[in-house]
């Protein structure tokens, strides 16, 4: 199976000749595609690393200016940074500066231009790190593929007559009351074919047109829909029969594209069906009914029946 039932692609890239440096060029997409454990590791490391690095720099400034207690500064000595007594206090001052805590105990004086420049540089870099990392976390949380998890397909596809024509039918449902705007459903039939020249093409793709009674675009996707593909002379299923379909080697991948109403982000939902999951001569059980109060009720217990 190339596409799992939940839409993940079962594919592995081997012997990719291009350098991994190209992934660092598009660092934003690389960060978004990372798993949460790696993303949180980078998130924590970025802040701790910058705090510790600038803590070392603040310690160096205090060391060069001889502000540390081991130099026995005079009473009239004005340090670059007040109350830095060692590496630990330098780290704390770095943390307070970058996250703008400002306890008021440690502060930069006007004695050293180097310290003022370092303060400005750390403040600017801290804003950049904070914006990038928090933006990456927010972008990953709000990615449209999470919305796709609330779109579900029936476990099986069925082949039966609809409107006097033999059709392949699939049921799809939106589990949220918010709509997918501009939804479009289509399919690809993946199979191995041999060309007249004798070339074997693995995963050859054939377009499968799916429709509902109102068309296959701009669906009013508020309740479960039964989409169907008409099996005519132009259909790749035309030469299959109930007795031979299990002997076929194909995978039907179904796509649903749409725009999330809440965020205006586009999303795609995928699933697939292999011959064992296509039932010939069956129909889907009804799931929509009307209550006494006049509301429409969807019984998802019968969704895949």
**Would 253 be classed as within a structural domain?**
yes
Residue 194 is part of a domain; what is its CATH number? 2.60.40.1400
Kindly state the helix (H) or strand (E) to which residue 23 belongs, with its residue range: helix 21-25
In a domain, 106, yes or no: yes
pLDDT tens readout for residues 177-217:
777 888 888 999 999 888 888 888 888 888 999 888 655 55
In a domain, 6, yes or no: no
Q: Are residues 25 and 60 in the same domain?
A: yes
> Where residue 92 sits, what CATH number does that domain have?
1.10.287.70
Q: Is residue 203 part of a domain?
A: yes
Tokens 């829909």 identify what position?
A: 225
| Cα angle 96, 99, 100; round to 5 | 70
Does residue 197 share a domain with residue 95? no
Note the pLDDT of residue 17.
66
Predicted confidence (pLDDT) per residue in 7-60, tens digit? 888 887 777 666 667 777 778 888 888 888 999 999 999 999 999 999 999 999
Domain of residue 42, residue span: 18-142
Q: pLDDT at position 117, please?
A: 94
| Number of helices followed by number of strands (H, E) in the chain | 6, 11
Asked whether residue 3 is domain-assigned, the answer is: no
8 A C-beta contact, residue 83 and residue 105 = yes
Least confident of 18-22, 61-65, 95-99: 18-22
Sign of the alpha-carbon torsion through 114, 115, 120, 122: positive
Q: What is the chain's mean pLDDT, rounded? A: 87
- Final residue in a domain of this structure, among 121, 142, 163: 142
State whether 205 and 255 are in the same domain: yes
In this structure, are 256 and 155 located in the same domain? yes
- Report the Cα–Cα distance between both ends of the chain, in Å, rounded: 23
Kindly state whether residues 138 and 150 are assigned to the same domain: no
Radius of gyration of the chain (CA): 31
Region label for 23, one of left (φ > 0), alpha (ψ between -120 and 50) or beta (otherwise): alpha
Question: Which residues, 6+ apart, have CB-to-CB distance to 110 below 8 Å?
Answer: 116
Please state the pTM of the whole predicted model: 0.71
- Is the pLDDT confidence value at 81 over 60? yes
Count how many residues are written for the chain.
305
């Amino acid at each position: 199976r190339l596409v799992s039932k939940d839409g993940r692609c079962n594919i592995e890239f081997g012997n990719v000749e291009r350098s991994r440096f190209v992934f660092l060029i598009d660092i934003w997409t690389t960060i978004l595609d990372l798993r949460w454990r790696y993303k949180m590791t980078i998130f924590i490391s970025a802040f701790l690393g910058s705090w510790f690095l600038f803590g070392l720099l603040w310690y160096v400034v205090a060391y060069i200016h001889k502000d540390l207690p081991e130099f026995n500064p005079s009473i009239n000595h004005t340090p670059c940074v007040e109350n830095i007594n060692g590496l630990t206090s330098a780290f704390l001052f770095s943390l307070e500066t970058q996250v703008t805590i400002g306890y008021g105990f440690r502060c930069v004086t006007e004695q050293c231009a180097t310290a003022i420049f370092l303060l400005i540089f750390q403040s600017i870099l801290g804003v950049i790190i904070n914006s990038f990392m928090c933006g990456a976390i927010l972008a990953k949380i709000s990615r449209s593929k999470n919305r796709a998890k609330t779109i579900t397909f029936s476990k099986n596809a069925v082949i039966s007559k609809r409107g006097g024509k033999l059709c392949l039918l699939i049921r799809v449902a939106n589990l949220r009351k918010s709509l997918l705007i501009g939804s479009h459903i289509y399919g690809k039939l993946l199979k191995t074919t041999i060309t007249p020249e004798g070339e074997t093409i693995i995963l050859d793709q054939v377009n499968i047109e799916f429709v509902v009674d109102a068309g296959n675009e701009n669906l009013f996707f508020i309740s479960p829909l039964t989409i169907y593909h008409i099996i005519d002379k132009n259909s790749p299923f035309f030469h299959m029969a109930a007795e031979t379909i299990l002997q076929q080697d194909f995978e039907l991948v179904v796509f649903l594209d749409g725009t999330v109403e809440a965020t205006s982000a586009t999303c795609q939902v995928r699933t697939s069906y292999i011959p064992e999951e296509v039932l010939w001569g069956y129909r889907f059980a009804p799931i929509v009914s009307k209550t006494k109060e006049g509301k429409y009720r969807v019984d998802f217990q019968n969704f895949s029946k």
